[in-house]
Structure 1
Amino acid sequence: MISIEDLRLAVTLARSESLSAAARTLNVSPPALSMRLRKLETRLGLTLANRDARRLSLTADGERFSRESALLLEQLEALPESFRQKDETLVGTLRLAAPFGYGRQRIAPLLARFAKVHPQLRLHLDLRETPWPDRHDSDAVIHIGHLNESLWTARPLTPNERWLCASPAYLHAHGVPSSPDELASHRCICIRENDEDVTLWHLRKGQGRKTLRVEPAL
């Protein structure tokens, strides 16, 4: 197996006038370099260089091996850069899943602007009632509520609060509740998300918190 160090050795030999000069470039002793060269020649079954105490010259096989080594090293050095987009434009496909309402009002306009900045990027937005957990084929899922799945990385996008509201006609007919406990006797409209228990409400006022179960209106 030819190593990167073998390639560098061949390139250095081609650029050096003597074995001692090549050893100084590679920061090794001349005897150590001579041993590395012999091992490489044995591995290849070729004579790469003619050397004596003062002069070093490559054979025809040595010159060819040096040229090929230089090309390989250049390709290896350029490999990371070849994967970078020069203009930082994104390419490929991005798949997103989001709830219907939030996806239409918040995500779709953002994606429209994002697509103009990255025209080579294909965007897929899948809107559905429960984007989680049935959209594991997506790159990102917009989820409303608590996430129990530990294999995904969650990032909060924005607070999601619910406000207690009632029409004037309902309050006139049934009265205004004076405490959260009285909500249990009222007919409540519950918004279902992600198949969660919509009758279990978590109320907060200042630093106080209360959890109660309500009766949904039929």
Structure 2
Amino acid sequence: MKALNDLNIFVETARQSSFSQAAHSLDLTPAAVSAAIKRLESQLGFALFVRSTRSLRLTNEGDILLQRTQSALSTIQEGLDQIAQSQGEISGTLNLSAPSDFGRNQLLSWLDEFMELHPNLSINLDLSDGITNLYHRPIDLAIRYGTPPDSNFVALPICRHNTRVICASPEYVQNKPAIVKPSDLLAHQCLCFMLSDTYHNRWTFWRDGNPETVVVKSRLSANDGDVVHRWAVNGRGVAYKSLLDISQDIIDGRLLPLLSEWQSEPCPVYLVCADKRLLNHSTRALHQFLQSKCEQRMRQVKDIMSQRSSLAM
């Protein structure tokens, strides 16, 4: 911003035709004004003023630069004023990254509602189960499962108490042996998720503080969480899914939660950004909106699960 400040000093000096008067107008010292003009002249490679003991006038080059500079500075100021005004509004463009399953089955309808509330906002949505590099990609915010390992990230919780849950369709459960303990999963068709080189077939549960891990076998696996989700709804097997992702299916009865007597793995959801300067009025509004939606959905699905558990007893 020093160059921009020097240009402002140049314009005021030309208007006042005096270093001392320009300094007084800008609340600077004459030496500071003189130093700014010298910096500009050194950078530009030509003189801006013809100096004498009694007068100061523009050179031909200085006069040409003044005409262009005044217009440019006016345009820049308009832009700065617009930015300052928009910082108090929910507007502009947000580049948002989200996991495939959560993005398609929960986030899309919520974003529709959010944008209806804020018609001056645009959103670019990138859906991928890969870990988007927030330093190299033009992404403002990313929705992530689990606490981000990079401590330099700003992580805003949107669903702290989300967990993974064993689930299957009513049709699948009706025709297969009961699943009452983790080891029972070994006799079932399990649906597994892959991410990069990691094959997620080690499923861990706890009861009375004691962990139990099973290594399941699967004829069906995918690197897209939404595919695993659809296979489960279509009765192709048992999945170990984020409760938030399948919450509407549980509410509507398309999927049944299993192993309810066992504690499953935590799966908190965060809204992550690489720089706290990206947390403007729009991003904070989106965070609050998504946090509210997630909390509401989790209350609904847990109430349904509690009611069905009571009826089954």
> Please, what TM-score do these two structures have when normalized by structure 1?
0.54
Shift in Å at residue 8 of structure 1?
0.8
For 2:117 and 2:184, how far apart are their aligned partners in 1? Answer: 51
Instruction: Report deviation, 1:19.
Output: 4.9
Query: Measured at CA, do residues 215 and 58 of structure 1 come closer, stay the same or move farther in structure 2, by a change above 3 Å?
Result: closer
Aligned partner letter, 1:111:
L
SS at match of 1:133: coil
Instruction: Check whether the contact 1:10–1:69 (CA below 8 A) recurs between aligned residues.
Output: yes
Residue 98 of structure 2 contacts residue 144 of structure 2 at CA under 8 Å; is this kept in 1? no
| Alpha carbons 1:23, 1:33 under 8 Å: kept | no
Per the alignment, residue 57 of structure 2 pairs with 58
Q: Identity of counterpart residues, as a percentage? A: 14
Mapped to 2, the partners of 1:90 and 1:146 lie a distance apart of 28
Q: CA separation in 2, counterparts of 1:69 and 1:27?
A: 23
Q: Deviations over 1:167-186 (max 9, x none)?
A: 69845xxxx86x65xx2686
Whichever residue aligns with residue 133 of structure 1, its letter is G
Kept in 2, the 8 Å contact 1:202–1:209? The answer is: yes
The secondary structure found in structure 1 opposite 2:113 is: helix
Give the 3-state SS of the residue equivalent to 1:132 in structure 2: coil
Alignment-derived partner of residue 12 in structure 2:
11
Q: Is the 8 A contact 1:48 1:63 kept in 2?
A: no
Aligned pairs for 1:177-188 (under 5 A) are: 183=183, 187-188=187-188
The answer for unaligned runs of 5 or more in structure 1 is: none
- Cα separation, partners in 2 of 1:161 and 1:22, compared to 1, 3 Å: closer
- Distance 1:211-1:21 versus aligned 2 partners, 3 A rule: same
Which of 204, 213, 238 is 1:202 aligned to?
Answer: 204
Instruction: With a CA cutoff of 8 Å and minimum separation of 6, indicate the structure with the bigger relative contact order.
Output: 2
Select the structure of larger CA radius of gyration.
1
Query: How big is the shift at 1:79?
Result: 4.0
User: What is the aligned-residue RMSD (CA, Å)?
Assistant: 5.2
Letter of the structure 1 residue corresponding to residue 164 of structure 2: E
Report the structure, 1 or 2, having the larger helix content: 2
Aligned residues: 194
Deviation at 1:113, TM superposition (A): 0.7
CA shift in 2, pair 1:20/1:45, >3 Å: closer
C-alpha separation in 2, matches of 1:146 and 1:27:
52
Structure 1 residues 15, 212: closer, same or farther in 2, change over 3 A? same
Stretches of structure 2 that go unaligned for 5 or more consecutive residues are 220-236, 238-313
- Residue in 1 that maps onto 2:290: none
In terms of mean alpha carbon deviation, does 202-211 or 62-71 score higher? 62-71
- Give the whole-Å Cα distance in 1 for the aligned partners of 2:109 and 2:69: 52
Q: CA separation in 2, counterparts of 1:21 and 1:206?
A: 80
Provide the rounded CA distance (Å) in 2 between the counterparts of 1:48 and 1:115: 57
Change (3 A) 1:208 1:9: same
Question: What is the TM-score of this pair, normalised by structure 2?
Answer: 0.42
1: CA distance between counterparts of 2:20 and 2:143?
Answer: 65
